[in-house]
Structure 1
Amino acid sequence: MIGRLKGIILEKQAPDLLIDVNGVGYELQAPISTLAVLGRTGSEAVLYTHLAIREDAHQLYGFSDKAQRTLFRTLIKVSGVGPKLALAILSGMDANAFALCVHNEDVTALTKLPGVGKKTAERLIVEMRDRLTEWQAPAPLWAAVDQAEKASLDAVLREAEAALIALGYKPQDAAKMLNKVSSQADTPEELIRLALKNTLGQ
């Protein structure tokens, strides 16, 4: 089992990462919250990982801290929630906000997450309520965003839009979300964060 990686960021395009660890390139997927606190391409990164093994593929997921990985592992134990949906949940809502929604039984807020309908939201609340009592919430995950090199606004918007579509939003909805915040940030990760925050009302 691969539990932790320390290496150089070779590629970073949400939700995908390529990390060079002593000459070996590891492909990972990570939530937007993790990508937001990583450095730029060429910098060192430390990620706590989870390896999902299926008959047709092995997929590695990366997280900025152990608490986030623990929440991911707890989420995928919920009936009907696989790694893809768990990643979308952690991308669309930070861990502390998610825990608050569960404790407050806030179905409306949870259904704003891509891929989460009313039944799934209700199931998350029922099955996660007791499990979250043993989970220690991490510090806010949107702090200390490392600014990447300035890129053209069009390229930044395209990358941010592709990431939102990968999370389950329709292309036209992703475009509308980004148009509202396009003048407020210079990096794809920050644009995505602002777009999600604006949409979810956090």
Structure 2
Amino acid sequence: MSAESDMDFSDNDGDDYDYYGEQDDCDMETVDHSKSDPEYFTFSCLKVEEVDKLLNESIELLSDSLQVTPSLAKVMLHAYEWNAQEIINKYKENAIEVLVNSRVKPRVSTIQASRSACAVCANTPAVHNFSALACGHYFCNDCWAMHFEVQIMQGVSNTIQCMAQDCEVRAPEDFVLSHVPKPSLRERYQQFMFRDHVKSHPQLRFCPGPNCQV
């Protein structure tokens, strides 16, 4: 090969040739990714304690505003994607509609079930050993406990429903915990509750990294 065909990578001053142009690599840090990347968004990393605080602020606001228990506030917030102000406004207009949409109350009035015998096990325990949700479907506490244990072991928490056929009323946290005596099961249930709260919140996402709690 002749000398004329060799490529000369030097400029007139003898400096090394800049393969990547004259732009300094440091300038890359000044690029506004929010404009160049359509999938870019700003975010903050939160610990479990910080998320708990964020959720509890909404729960406390709704509970105080509507004079309902924190457990019922959680059910409504889960149904309305944690928009406490929207719930408060709609509750003032039509409280029953909000409670029905949140599955706190049934869509149609139900006839109060008899407490003479449990509809699941047919046993006849003492009257004080029966419990019911707002729908009025009474079952013995032993059957409630078994129902909740099965649901929790399957990973269900916020969406546990009444045992009555076709009843969509959901069991609030305090009702579930009052029928779940096992500490390990209670802890498992509350872990699932936290997970579901995060998933239902429009501004929260779990880190996709394996075993990451952020």
Which one scores higher on RCO, CA 8 angstroms, separation ≥ 6? Answer: 1
Flag whether TM exceeds 0.5 (same fold).
no
State TM-score, norm by structure 1: 0.30
Name the structure where strand makes up a greater proportion of residues: 1
Larger radius of gyration: 2
